[in-house]
A and B are shown apart, each in its own frame.
Chain A
Amino acid sequence: AQKITQTQPGMFVQEKEAVTLDCTYDTSDPSYGLFWYKQPSSGEMIFLIYQGSYDQQNATEGRYSLNFQKARKSANLVISASQLGDSAMYFCAMREGRVGSARQLTFGSGTQLTVLP
């Protein structure tokens, strides 16, 4: 079974509008972290935001916010006021809190976001 599922291979949004990128996850660990990374066409992985499983409030970082619904196991990324520079691939990832592991990230398949002028 997939641990991280991103069901939107591609999304389009008009400049200055908000967009939501979906992410659902599957884990039996009570302790985990959810991350979003941005990968522009140049290829580097840019950390955007994370949410801990025990965090009471949704994470926010500037124009990025994470809509965390623990019961539904979803961690959607919301980008407000989209800019042309937001066009990139976006990956959702999870790090499980297994005791003794080095806690590698498990990535979803990504969503290619295109911001239209």
Chain B
Amino acid sequence: EPEVTQTPSHQVTQMGQEVILRCVPISNHLYFYWYRQILGQKVEFLVSFYNNEISEKSEIFDDQFSVERPDGSNFTLKIRSTKLEDSAMYFCASSEAGSGPYNEQFFGPGTRLTVL
């Protein structure tokens, strides 16, 4: 069964460093998403991506964040200068189409980011 994959599973970085989180969505999916979950809190939407551009972004997704689909398979989230409060689990998700509200989003296993 196709699945969303994410690498690395755990990333430890120093405050101020740049990190890139990688995701490989399911191959025939068209919509891609990043969410984050601070430990013990709810899952929060960061950004959605379609047709090689950002569709929507939340207020969390400020200038420190960027997303890219550098090739036909990878979808990346870059944090330019990490802060302590960026420590969280980051989930990538993809869905087949966004034309209706019922399409399931498939989540990857997450990348746990720890900023020291």
Contact (Cβ within 8 A) B101 A104: no
The distance in angstroms between the C-alpha atoms of A61 and B98, with both chains bound, is: 23
What is the interface size of chain A, counting residues whose CB is below 8 A from a CB of the partner? 27
Contact check: which of A50, A52, A106, A108 meets B45 at CB < 8 Å? A106
B92-116 with Cβ < 8 A to chain A:
93, 98, 100-107, 109-110, 112
The distance in angstroms between the C-alpha atoms of A91 and B37, with both chains bound, is: 12
A62 within 8 A of B: no
Chain B residues within 8 Å of A91, by CB: 42-43
A32 within 8 A of B: yes
Contact with B along A66-78 (1 / 0, CB 8 A): 0000000000000
The distance in angstroms between the C-alpha atoms of A106 and B45, with both chains bound, is: 7
Contact check: which of A33, A44, A50, A97 meets B109 at CB < 8 Å? A44
Contact (Cβ within 8 A) A102 B101: no
Residues of A within 8 A of B (CB): 31-33, 35, 37, 43-45, 47, 50, 52-53, 91, 93, 95-97, 101-110
